[in-house]
Amino acid sequence: MTTIPSATEIVTIPCLKDNYAFALHLRETGRTLIVDVPEAAPILAECARRGWGITDVLLTHHHWDHVDGLPDLRAAVDGPVRVWGAAADAHRLPALDHALSEGDVIEIGALRGAVYDVSGHTLGHIAVHFPQAGVVFTADSLMALGCGRLFEGTPAQMWESLSKLAALPRDTLVCSGHEYTQSNARFALTVDPENSALRARAARIEDARAKGMPTVPSSLGVELDTNPFLRAKDPKIKAHLGMTGASDAECFAEIRQRKNNF
């Protein structure tokens, strides 16, 4: 569990094989937001154990491993559950109570979240930043030491999306959707081998996973210092890839392609 400002708590909930859902709980009002629902049972069990009533669900994108548990969750919850998701993705999402676009605001009690279009992994993928709580929910856009595979968007779109997230405060907690960090670290070292912060982080990740501990969430500052997908503008990385003089987006595209083939 992570305790963050504004009398708010976040719990990372493992689901399926390597997915994560998140519960964001406001202690003063008792509201609880669930971010993505890969499956209902682990989420319901964790919230029941804590005595948290689920009031809201945020769906970041339409992929089955982020939405398929919603019907079972809604059926098990005693009371209404508001479902938030992207207007641009509404035709592929479960029925939404609130359809969101970039610039919109989610209100969970007194907590307000800014909505970002982070298309790339899918078109219509959204991320939500809650500045009062110091957290951003990024799912399969910005991930721990990685980014989502580009199933629908272009490298230029994803680079633009990641650049939006990179501009948030460095101490922002990044809650992403999968436990891919160990393999991401091994790849990152092939792109940025001289990065001492990355080597140290990779060692910490290996230790954590050997102990069965999650590596998500992470901090944006750590991602900015170690995640090659955020560091495509770094001259050392461009030189290592033989891309000195290339644009940042071109370098990002090369990194993403290398990861696809890793």
Residues shown for the chain: 262
Q: What is the residue whose two structure tokens read 């990861």?
A: 259
Question: What average pLDDT score do residues 41-63 get?
Answer: 98
Report how far residue 133's alpha carbon sits from residue 179's, in angstroms, rounded to the nearest whole number.
23
Confidence at residue 182, expressed as pLDDT on a 0 to 100 scale:
97
| pLDDT exceeds cutoff 50 at 144 | yes
The domain 2-260 is placed in CATH, from the list 3.30.420.40, 3.60.15.10, 3.30.750.200, 3.30.70.380, at 3.60.15.10
| pLDDT exceeds cutoff 60 at 4 | no
Give bridge partners of residue 178 from the DSSP assignment: 19
| pLDDT exceeds cutoff 70 at 5 | no
Cis amide leading into 217 (omega within 30):
yes
Report how far residue 9's alpha carbon sits from residue 1's, in angstroms, rounded to the nearest whole number.
7
Question: What average pLDDT score do residues 169-182 get?
Answer: 97
Contact present, 150 and 123 (Cβ < 8 Å)? no
Confidence at residue 48, expressed as pLDDT on a 0 to 100 scale:
97
Contact present, 140 and 124 (Cβ < 8 Å)? no
| pLDDT exceeds cutoff 50 at 208 | yes
Confidence at residue 38, expressed as pLDDT on a 0 to 100 scale:
98
Q: Which two tokens stand for residue 222?
A: 């750590």
Give the predicted TM-score (pTM) of the model. 0.95
| pLDDT exceeds cutoff 70 at 166 | yes
Report how far residue 56's alpha carbon sits from residue 37's, in angstroms, rounded to the nearest whole number.
11
Radius of gyration of the chain (CA): 18
Confidence at residue 28, expressed as pLDDT on a 0 to 100 scale:
87
pLDDT band at 3 (very low <50, low <70, confident <90, very high): very low
- In the chain, the percentage of residues whose pLDDT exceeds 70 is 98
| pLDDT exceeds cutoff 90 at 7 | no
